[in-house]
Each structure stands twice: as C-alpha cells, then as structure tokens.
Structure 1
C-alpha cells in the first residue's frame, strides 16, 4: 500500500527516526538519491544480495535489485510522498530468487529515498503452499459426488460441500450452525450421535448405514465412512456419505425376487434346470436332483450333454438354435441318470433373459409310467385288432369309382354275396338301401377330396342279398399313390345291429344306467350336441365342489360349468360327434390358482346310426 504522508529527516538520522520500521537483526537498510542510485548499503544488504557496499554505492537500485514481481516500485511516486510497502521479488547476484518485504519513503537532506527490507522468501513459500493446499482441499471437496461433512470433536458441523447441501436440502450457512445429531432421525438422534463419536474415538474410523433426515423430513439411508483425525490441537471428524436408499430398496427387491424364484422352482412338480445357451447348467431344483441322481452342486458342474445318451448329443445344438429363434421347444427326450439308467422324459425348454444374456429354463418330467402304459395300450390295441379280424370284422376295399375291389370272408357271410360276385360292381347300388346311398356317397366324396382325413368313422345300413338290413360301424381309410392321387378306400366294418338293439334297451332302463354311472369311481357326465350336460354322476359333483365350482351342472353347457377349459376341448367334442370315435386325452388346466391334471375319455353314444350324445369319463391324476 502507499501512504500520502511525506516524511522529512536528516540523512544521518537512524531509520526509526525517519518513521521507518524499527530495524531488527537481519533487516536490510538502504538510501537512494533522486535518480535511484544507492547512497547507503548496510551489511545485511550485502549478505542478502551478494553485492558489497563499495561496489553497490552509486549503482542504480534497479540494477542491483531488479524487480521481478510485486507491485511496481516507482521512485517518482515515493519522492512525491506516496510511501511504498509490499512484496518485492528480485534476485541475488548469483541469479537465485530473493523475496523481500520492502518499505520505502522519501527523506534525508535532499530528495532521497530511504528503505528497509526484510527477506520473506520462506514465509511466502509457506503461505503459497497453504493457499494451494486450501484450494486443492476446496476443489476436492466440491468435486466429490458424495456428501462431505466436517465436524469438530463434539459433532458440531464446521464445513460441508455442495453435494451435502443438495442431499440434505440445506444451505451451507444453515448446516454449519447444526450438529451431526441434527441430521439423524429424531427418535435415534442423540443415542446414535453419541455412540458414533465414542466409536470414532475408540477405533478412529467406521463405515455404517445411517437413517438421516432431510430438511423436508424425508428419510434417507446413507452409507457413511467417517474418520476422526487430530488437526493442530483439535479433533476433527471427516464424514463422507452416499445415498443408498434406492440401492438398498433394489437389494431388498432382489432378495424377495430370488426367494420367490427359489420357492417357485423348488415348489414345481417337475425337474427344473437353468442352463446357459452353451449347455452349462447354472441352477437346479430338488426335483432335478431326485430325477437325475446328482446333488445340486454336482449338476452345476455339468453340461446338458452329460445328461444325454451319446447318440442324441449332436442334436443338442439344433435344439438350442430352435430355442434361440422361436423362444420355446417342446418334445420328448431320453435322459441319462447318474447311475447310467436311461429315463424317458417330457421336455420343455423356454428362452429367458438372464442379466442381458440369453439362457434357458428346462423342465423335465419323468414319463416312464406313461410310456409303459402307452406300450401296454398299443400292445392291447394290436391284440384287439387281431381279435376283431379273426372274430369277424368286415374288410372292404373300394376303387376310385366306388366299385368293390376286395371283400373278406366275414363280409361275404354278412352280406350273403361272395367276393367274386361283388368284384367290379357298384357298392352303393348293390349293397346299400336306397335311402342310405346319397349320405354314404357324400362321405366317400369327402374322403376323396381330402376334407375328411385320418381314419373316418361312419355308421350306415347295408342291404343283404336276402333283402334284410344290417347296421355296420365302419372305419374308413383313404388310399393314395405316391403322387397323392386318390385310389379308393379301405374300410373295416363291424356288424353292430345287435349291439344297437341292446343300447336301445339300455336307454329304456335309465334307472339302471344312472346306477351304473354313479357307481363309477371317476367323474362322469353326458352331453348332447349343444354341449349341454344331460347327466352327471355323484363323483363329478364332488369333484366340482373340491375345485370350488358349482356342483349344479346338469342343464348347463360345458363352457358355463367349466369356464377354465380351453377352446380346443370343444373341438375335441366336435370330432367325437363327427367321427363317432372315442378320444383319450391328457389335460392340464389352471383352476382356482392351481393346476389340475386329468386323463379324459370321450366316448360317443350312437342312436339310430348317428352320435347323439358323448359320455366323458374324467380321472383326476394331479396327485
């Protein structure tokens, strides 16, 4: 700074007599003429600058001590009465840096400048280091994304950063008038704050999650890392906090999700495997361990190929590709247990997204019993077919024009015609009553056109050579060549004339019919062509009550009585009414929050040569 006061003092006077600061040991004293030449130069000046008194006298001060930094040292300003006081950066004779604090004023016998300087290099360097350190501290504090709070040893807040203000909703001035306890939720503030400070004094640091309160009263879960340090003569607490409210909520949701996932796969009735798309097994439920004979830990060390017979392993990559493209694969497979036993299994593979990576959920169900039953049924069917042929089934082949191409012995016995007599003759004109010809010919045309496929069941009257009528139940198959051209039909027919008479007698005895159905252990109902329930046994009514459904089903239509059934079931009834063939199916339906597994047999009831009702037998195999 500069002073406007002009001081006059004789040149021979001591510096303090001239109004200068009192000289201390090590202070530089000099005197300059109006041109800035050195008139006086003490011993300390010689030591500080490296210029001796003899060579310095009459040299310009600006040459001996050239100014490198600081406020301008203007000789004219000082001679005009404006004193100089401030930092003066120069260099020694050897070129090294010299930092001075210099005071100069006008005085002496004539126009002169008298000055006192003190070397302050170490002081300024220390002060600059402190300034830089403070700036770095503040920069670090403000650049931190976490909330930073500094408090004294008693928990009074002394400093905060912007992130802390943003987190708690206070201004810096407000926070520095608060204590750490003020940020804790009220019901735990005092005990928690006191206990935390005591813990810091004991251990020096801590990391924990605290429930803190914002200015608006919102409660936040904040993960705090705090240290207690000795700064000078005082204790200081440095606390760094990060809002983990959402993270903890997400972790809770993840735990709940994992618990639900584990409960779901462990509660599943099937074996469940979680697999990577390269075949690695990532997880397995307890049913998988039971089915495959491995522990869960052992399964998680295996790949899907380890559970497959060698001959099917090349197909695994194809299956994975199908799952990646379509998202789902279903079929049957043979799996190898740990003990080497091969087990037939129903297989369902679904694609899922697992942490951004495609994976697969594999469901396996042991169908050994079902395969065994199917094999027994197939063998029984083959025996039955052989029995029907031997016992007297009509075998009839017609060409594309409806002419007889083949008739077996039993057919000849029933019709009264030999095969030789009928070969080449029109079946419709020779062996059918006139009233049946149009209906049977239409069925024949439908088979030729392909509008009815598979084994087509049909009942119609035939006319014997003697002029009597017999009711025959036919199973018709279409014959085509390799190009798909229609060649004719092959039919097997059973004389059901007497059986139909017995059925009519059975209908006349409704009471006996009801008693027989009620005695059945399975659920039974009978529907007409409108799918309206005409009859239901006691077991069906009890089954409805167990499922939480109304047991008053008689008179209702199937979709009303059993709303959980899919549309495909109605199509199955249409098929039975149309073809007259029994239909056996396995069904899985969701009822009242659970799954119900049933085996269902739909049997046609034929009256007057047509299916008028269908009797359904339902066996609940859920357990």
Structure 2
C-alpha cells in the first residue's frame, strides 16, 4: 500500500517538474516502473481529478490537472455556489445561493440552467465563460444584480471542476462585493474632494482693506510671483496692476461690497525685482493712475496673468472689514488658449488648402457649417453665403440624397464610413468621387457634426481602366501566340497560361490557374528534381536553363514532347517574382 501511494506521489512529482506534460513511456522511464502499471496509476489519478490528458495524434500526453476537485468547493460556503455539469444542468447549490434566490434547493438541483431559478446565468457571456471552464480555464468577472429594488455588485468566479463521476463540470461562485464597491466609490469621492481642496490651497490668498492695501499674503505668492509675503504686505495691490486692470479691480470691489457676493476677474501683473522699480518689485502707479516708474513690462520684467476672486468680509454688525482675494496664476492657461487658437488657425489653413473637398454638417439642425476651398470650387458655391443652409439648397438632388444616406449610417453606428463611389456630372464633365464620412463628437460624447471628405478620383479611375485595358490587350496577344506561354510564381503555382497552353494541356483556364506546375504539368518521376532546380534558380543558387527539351503532361495523362524556353521575370528592384516559360511541340 505504501508503494502504491509512493508511486502515485512519484508520478505527480514528475508531472509537476514537466508542466508541458509527459507520455506514459516518459513517466515509466522516469520513475522506473513498467508502462502498464504507470497507465493504471494514471487512470486512477485522472478519475480523482489530479491529472488531465490531451491527445496529439496517436500520442497521449498527461499533465497536472488545473481543475479544482468538487470537495474543495465546500470550503467556499460563505459565498454563493452553484455546480453545473457539462450539459448545463445544476448539480448542486449551497444555502447562501438559495437564500439569495429565495428558493429551496430542490427547486434548482437537477434542472437545466435555463429552466431553473438560475436562468439569469443563461447569458451568452456566462455561457462562453462556462465553456472555457470546461476546457480548464478559470475566469473572474464582475456583475450587477438588482435585488429588492437595490443595486448590488458581485464577483463571479467560474472554476473548472471534476464531478463525483469524474466528468468535467464548472463551479459558479458569487462573492457579494457591494460594500467593497461602495467603499471604493466613497474613497474615490473623498480623493476627488481632497484633490479639489489641494488645488484651491495652491492658489495664493490675500487679505486687503478697503483702500486695497495688502494685510496678508499666503506663502504661495512667492511661488507665483517670486516675491515673499514680507515683500508684499503693506503695499497697495494696485501697484501690482496696470491702470486698466486697477480700474476693473476697483469696480469689482464695489460690486462685491454692494451685492455681498464674490466677483471674478482677470488681471495682468508685471513682476520685476529691481530696487529702482518700486520697493515691492512691481511697477508703481501715481495718484492719477499713470506710471511713475518704467512703462509696463520691460526687458527684465515677467508678465503674470492672474484670475482673482474678490469676496467682501463683514463683521458681526455688518460693517465691511476688508476683502479676501484668492488668486490663481493662469499664465500657462492663457498661453495655451492663445496657442490653441493659433493651432486651430493652422489646422484650418491645412484643411482649407488640401485638394480633397471637405464639408461639415451640424447634426442638430441639419445645416452645413463649413466648406473648404476645394468644395467651394467643385460645387460652385461661396462658403460665407452657404453656411447655415440645408443640403437641398446647396447641392444637386443626387448629391443631397447620397449625403443623407451616409448621414443616417453615421447617426446609427457612430463610426466612420466609406460610401460607395459617387459618379457626378459637373459643368458637363463626369467625375468619380470617393466619399468618406466621419462623426465628430462633443464633450458629452453626443454626435454634433458630420465631416464629409470627397476625393475626386476621376483620373485615378481612368488610369486603372487604362491599365486593365493594357492587361487585357497583353493577354489577347498571349492568347494569339502560336506557342504555349505560362507564368509560374516563385512558389511553383501557375499564375497565367495562354489559350494555346490550355489547348495543348487539355485544361480550362479556371482549372489550371493556381495549380502546382510540378505536380500538374511535369512528369511525376522528374517532379521533385525539376522543382528543386526551379527553387535554386529562383533563389540565384544556379543559373536558369534558358532552353531544354522535355515533356508536358496533359490532363488526360498523355505526354507531349516539347522544347522549353525559360526566363526570369524580375521587379524594378531586381528581385525574381516569377518565371516565364514557353513550350513548342517537337516536330
């Protein structure tokens, strides 16, 4: 008995060391036991669910099972558990799941999943997960269930399982994560609030009196302006502003006082730490609002744009005691806005000058709001006079109906679409247009505009048609040739065979194109040899034999003596792309 257990353990240890699996012979050699005994032991381990087997051709490969034994599921009694067999019938459920569904176990066990109170699990995604589990793959997902008018969250685990009869099954486990989810959301809300608080604290906070003198400045002012609180307290805030901003600030103070509410405005400041430029390092204003020092920003000054919130402060009896000013440096934002306008102008210039036609339609009211120069010229419209008009006011009926069909597709699917080619007659000339429509979404992810790009491919179509005509003409020449001409790809398949060749070999063109030259046309006894020489010639190892006598095998199996003429077909880079061969029957 000890030997029996030891040998089973030995097999498991060997399989653990080789995760990719081992054959019966490999295991027998490894543990020193004959194959028949090892085979019986492996059957025992498979029945117990400790070992799995996969078949590769005639070989059987054994490896450590990834399935969890059914008995292990009993350890998860705190979660809701259902065990399903491979036919999707319910084998077992625990009490927690019965309490969730408010049913007795007898109402579930033994029934098909779709005909039981667990019908909610008969969902395509869950079915797919169960199929994966039957193949040995464990999955974990999150689902949402409405229970007693309450939304609750569950983590659903689908685990591969071996049933008591050794057949495969799956175990579905539900873990209620509602409280964890709510705690996470509360933590996220708290984090957002904390972040908002940090961002506000990063602003500089100033206290001024009714005359605008600074009574307090938070330490943040040094990071924004480069001036410490000691350098600013006691100075007039108006010394930090140009005259225009100073007047606006005074008006905001008055409005805040009269309406007992905060006022917002933007002001420009010039920072210059220079003894001759005012003791506070800013440009000083005289009593009349003019500059007593240098004018505005000089070469050594630094411009700062601030967003200011001015809030009046009152004492217990309603008397004004001063103002609280919260300032934020928006210099970077201001530069970004200006850069955005510059970038927008740049993009507009590109769109307006590309050769493709571009029109933009507003979805809300169905009017067109933009046309680039190419669209103006092609449709003979003036953009400034056409903005705000409907399609039927601008385009021919055929174009309007064509655009409307594409707009409906965009509105339904909300993804870019390529429209069928549009053939249109403009100013007496026929044009072929390639049309693409692209949805443009707003901040709330709602469809706001539809961008239509039209490319005139008339010349391209004509070139394609000319190439096709040239190809057909060349093919006709090949067909008229009195000898068989074949083009063979570098992999040995037949790319083209002229009419004479089809007649000589007894095939229709559709029968032989794509067939292997060396198994179709070459005698069987020479097929391998000639194919090897063909591959060596294509790869450049040996020169291609330009002429040779040989035999061509017909469809009916008869052979025809021919004289072969061979040449390599190369691309502009000098790479071999095919072999051209011709055959003339021997007299």
Q: Which has the larger radius of gyration?
A: 1
Output the TM-score relative to the length of structure 2. 0.38
Output the TM-score relative to the length of structure 1. 0.36
